[in-house]
Chain A
Amino acid sequence: MVRFLIFLLFSAWAIISAIGVVTFTNPIYVILWLLSSLIAVAGIFFVAGAELVGALQLLIYAVAIAVFYVFVLTAVPWEKAVKKESHYRTEGVISLPLILLLYLEMAVVFLLGVVASPEGKFREAIARIGNAEVVGSVLFTKYFFAFEVVSLVLLIGMIGAVLIGRKESQTYEDDTG
């Protein structure tokens, strides 16, 4: 019961922060609300017993990606964005029924559907040696190929980001001749 109360606390925190992400105008406030929401979602992960995913959420999302967004906000002058209007108000109001329809569809699919019966294949192993060990052992045996493919995707993304973000003003092939 205490666990459910803590879950409700983190859920309310995450939803309020998400409303702040959608509604605020200043991009600095938006990144602060996003950081708050990411920390709240990490709290939800810890409550659910997934401490490895929660720790990686804190490390990668709430530190690395948030700091990266702040760096880009300093590179792009956002004073013009503050002066301009920050939302498409009519489009947002028009798309709101579609969002509600999406909510209704997801409610029908998730809440009224039959939830799969708990199989519990790893439950006693999780209770015996801990969640992070079970996640690591399954990740590095059954999903090892997918893990390597994700590392390749990270490498390609890094190369792409460097190639897209570099300056094109200097050319180096003119000095031969």
Chain B
Amino acid sequence: MKTIPVEAYFAVSMILFGLGILGLIARRNLITVLMSLELALNAVNVAFVGADAHMGLVEGQIFALFIIALAAVEAAVGLGIIIAIFRYRYVESTDEITDMRG
């Protein structure tokens, strides 16, 4: 378990998190924005588990389990909001939801 350096886990986590943030900014469809958010959450899980394997603890894996549960909740509520937005407004792109523009 010591053969993989912890910096490798952090590098993979950084790259995945940056790609998730880039998708979160540059995506236009609401569902793909949520998918990019799932990618960023998953990158944080990689960092937790990598640090755990380096330090010989188990708390990072427990936090990763909590993050997986909260990601499931976020997917359920977010997709419910997307379905409600589509039902009332018939839009699914983020630049068409302009009801709160001042």
B-contacting residues of A (Cβ < 8 Å)? 1, 3-4, 7-8, 11, 14-15, 18-19, 21-22, 27, 30-31, 34, 37-38, 41, 44-45, 47-50, 52-53, 56-57, 60-61, 64-65, 68-69, 72-73, 75-76, 78, 80-81, 84-89, 91-92, 95-96, 99, 102-103, 106-107, 110-111, 115-116, 118-123, 126, 131, 134-135, 138-139, 143, 146, 150, 153-154, 156-158, 160-162, 164-165, 167
A7 to B33, CA, bound (A): 28
**Do residues A27 and B12 form an inter-chain contact, with CB atoms below 8 A?**
no
Contact A80 B12 (CB under 8 A): no
Q: Which residues of A contact B21 (CB under 8 A)?
A: 99, 102
Complex interface: chain B residues within 8 A of A30 (CB): 32, 35
- Do B92 and A76 touch (CB < 8 A)? yes
Number of interface residues of B (CB under 8 A): 71
Pick from A22, A50, A53: contact of B23, CB under 8 Å: A22
Contact A161 B46 (CB under 8 A): no
Measured between alpha carbons, how far is A73 from B1 in the docked complex, in Å? 40
Contacts A38-B42, A126-B56, A160-B80 given; 15 further ones with Cβ under 8 A? A14-B12, A14-B16, A15-B12, A15-B15, A27-B32, A41-B16, A48-B9, A53-B49, A53-B68, A110-B14, A118-B56, A135-B65, A157-B76, A161-B79, A162-B80
Question: Complex formed: what's the CA distance from A160 to B76 in Å?
Answer: 9
Cβ contacts under 8 Å, A123 to chain B = 56
Whole-angstrom distance from the CB of B84 to the nearest CB of chain A? 5
Interfacial chain A residues near B83, Cβ < 8 Å: 72, 75-76, 164-165
14 contacts between A and B (CB under 8 A): A3-B4, A8-B8, A15-B15, A30-B35, A41-B46, A50-B64, A53-B65, A60-B72, A78-B92, A86-B28, A122-B58, A135-B61, A164-B84, A165-B79
Please, which residues of chain B bring their CB within 8 A of the CB of A34?
35, 38-39
Whether A150 lies near B66 (C-beta < 8 A) is yes
B58-A131 in contact (CB<8A): yes
For A65, list chain B residues within 8 Å (CB): 38, 71-72, 75
Give which listed residue, B17, B19, B49, B72, contacts A154 with CB less than 8 A: B72
Q: Are A150 and B59 in contact (CB under 8 A)?
A: no
* Contact indicator A116/B16 (Cβ below 8 Å): no
Q: Which of B35, B38, B45, B55 has the most CB of A within 10 A?
A: B35
| A88 in contact with B28 (CB, 8 Å) | yes
**In the complex, chain A residues whose CB is within 8 Å of the CB of B98:** none
Q: With A4-B4, A41-B46, A103-B18 known to touch, is A56 a contact of B68 (CB < 8 Å)?
A: yes
